[in-house]
A and B are shown apart, each in its own frame.
Chain A
Amino acid sequence: MNKLETKIGKIAKLENPIIAASGTVGYGEELSKLVDLKSFGAIATKGTTLTPRAGNESPRIAETPSGMLNSVGLENPGIDCFIKQKLPWLLQQNSKIFVNIAGSTVDEYVKLVQKLDSTKIDAIELNISCPNIKQGGANFGSNRKTAFEVVSQAKKHTTKPLIVKLTPNVDSISEIAKAVEYAGADAVSLINTLLAMKIDTRTRRPVLKNNLGGLSGPAVFPIAVRMVWQVYNSIKIPIIGSGGINSAIDVVEIMMAGASAVEIGTVLFKNPSTACNSIVCGLNDWLNQNQVKKLNSIVGTVKPW
């Protein structure tokens, strides 16, 4: 019996709850040179848009205490190129594929899900939370009405399970989560990066050319745990937790807060070939040590004071 088997609502069963986070592994090809992609429960591909995007100017990366900023700005070759040139290889890897998409209008999201509907991917991750592009992205995810509108329209035009990735840069993430659940989302994933800034005090310039970027890494983990817990108490659909997960015990913690699965990202920059396997081994050890039979039995079991 696989103690780590994970089910996210209607979405295909995963061998383990570890998903490679969108934006950290491209379309999988580079990482596959270092690690078998099947080690992951699923791969969430780079945020892809209707037409190709060049992304933001460099520098796009800055290190911060226990974390990092990025302002890549959704550089991608566009959905048609993805489907034609990247997806066939990815589908041969026998791992579950979640395709992350981002649009700047509702119509673009609709066209994106339509294009993916006839492919063999396992789910669509609707990115309504990218902090790094001026139009769209987080604009949809920071307002209940627009979040509802984009998810319900996307849902109407696809038979694929829909995961909606939420931004933490809002007053109440639970309110947004409720709106997207009501709109028909099959699951939510949270959190995307937190809007942040780093200044080079020598030059008095922001390190990132975009001035602002998204913070990820262990620094954001407690915020992710808090938000997963708040959202878990507000909706019934499954949650994929993410934000600075670094170890098996982090996975246990965020699952106790209410996540059914997790995404790991920044840690893959540190240990691309070993991060996933060491978390998987650590989870098995934790289950044995704590005499827990199935990992999914711990979801949402935190006992708040």
Chain B
Amino acid sequence: MIETIATIVEKKTIWPGILSLKLHCEKIAKTAKPGQFVHVLIENLTLRRPFSICEICDDNIVIGFQIKGKGTKQMSAWPIGKKINVLGPLGNGFSENSSNDNVLIIGGGIGCFALLELAKQTPNCQAILGFKTAKLIILEEKFKKHCNKLIICCDDGSQGLPGNITNPLEKILKTEKINKIAACGPIAMMKCAFEIAQKQNRNVKFEACLEQRMACGIGACLGCSVELKQNNKIVSAHVCSDGPVFDAREVFFN
């Protein structure tokens, strides 16, 4: 973990309001793992903004975001070449996958940003990515390149399978030997996916990447708490330092 200056070397507008930035920051790129995040300083705002590391390419990392508030709006105007202050890599990422693992990645909307590097580093994986509509689909080509199989679902049926990820998920879990699932997206999607997974195979390992409003990002301020079920007890954990990736069996999806 380091607070460092990164340079924006590439900026892409994927859809209006959805962007990705490639940041040159050798020190973070060197140690970053899939599922970890960086905390980005934005001038004139009190708090940094956390973003999942979407890709690690040599000395660069890629982050992606949707313009939602003041911070992301300001970031969307950042030009290539701008130097920004980044803290990272933070948190604990997804567990590592070997060639013996048969991994299923489930992404929803901009949650897919948090899963691409995992797909890149997983020898055997397939992915189901769900979006509201075709014009919000992100990273399709990249996932296709790194996954044995990719299923795209759109709620409105405008591309891929119509509806949410539940039908293809049930089918894959019935027909294939999946031993690990990694998910990031809306809480309702992850809840639904976890319930289906549990019904089909109670032993499947299910890792969920969560988010919460946070301040320090390093586990000091205790702002981003999340309740977990551990040994029949409810314990308090923190998304920034204990997560953002958690064992779904411990998470209250509500």
Residues of A within 8 A of B (CB): 23-26, 30-31, 33-34, 46, 54-55, 57-64, 66-68, 70, 72, 75, 207, 217-218, 266, 268-274
Contact = CB atoms under 8 A, between A and B. Distances in A.
B225 interface: yes
Residue of B41, B218, B223, B236 most packed against chain A (CB within 10 A)? B223
Contacts of A54: 234, 236
Given A58-B226, A61-B215, A269-B216, A26 B221 contact: yes
A55 B225 contact: yes
B214 A30 contact: no
A13 to B, nearest CB: 26
A31 B213 contact: no
B192 to A, nearest CB: 21
Contacts of B241: 30
A34 B225 contact: no
A23 B215 CA distance: 11
Interface string B223-251: 11110000000101000010000000000
A62 B48 contact: no
B178 interface: no
Nearest to A62: B213
- Top 4 nearest A-B pairs (CB, nearest first) are A61-B223, A26-B220, A273-B3, A30-B220
Q: What range describes how many residues of B lie at the interface?
A: 20 to 34
B46 interface: yes
B48 A270 contact: yes
Interface string B1-20: 11100000000000000000
19 contacts: A24-B220, A30-B241, A34-B1, A55-B236, A57-B225, A59-B212, A59-B213, A61-B224, A63-B46, A68-B215, A70-B221, A75-B222, A75-B236, A207-B213, A269-B215, A269-B216, A270-B41, A272-B3, A273-B2
Interface of B: 1-3, 41, 45-48, 70, 85, 87, 212-226, 234, 236, 241
A269 B47 contact: yes
Given A55-B236, A59-B212, A68-B215, 12 more contacts: A23-B221, A30-B241, A34-B87, A34-B218, A54-B236, A59-B213, A61-B47, A67-B46, A70-B221, A269-B47, A269-B221, A270-B47
A258 B246 CA distance: 48
A70 B215 contact: yes
A208 to B, nearest CB: 9
Contacts of A75: 222, 225, 236
Contacts, number: 97
A66 B46 contact: yes
B41 A26 contact: no
Contacts of B234: 54
B250 to A, nearest CB: 15
Given A68-B47, A270-B46, A272-B87, A61 B218 contact: no
A30 B3 CA distance: 13
Contact of A63 (B47, B87, B224): B47
A25 B220 contact: yes
Nearest to B234: A54
Contacts of B226: 58
Contacts of B225: 55, 57-58, 60, 72, 75
B7 to A, nearest CB: 18
Contacts of B70: 63
Contacts of A272: 3, 87, 216, 218
B188 to A, nearest CB: 16
A268 B216 contact: yes
A30 B152 CA distance: 40
A68 to B, nearest CB: 5
Given A55-B225, A59-B213, A75-B236, A31 B218 contact: yes
A270 B220 CA distance: 13
B220 A31 contact: yes
A34 B216 CA distance: 12
Contacts of A25: 220-221
A63 B2 CA distance: 23
A301 B87 CA distance: 39
Contacts of A72: 221-223, 225
Contacts of A207: 213
A154 B222 CA distance: 27
Residue of B47, B215, B217, B234 most packed against chain A (CB within 10 A)? B215
Contacts of A63: 45-47, 70
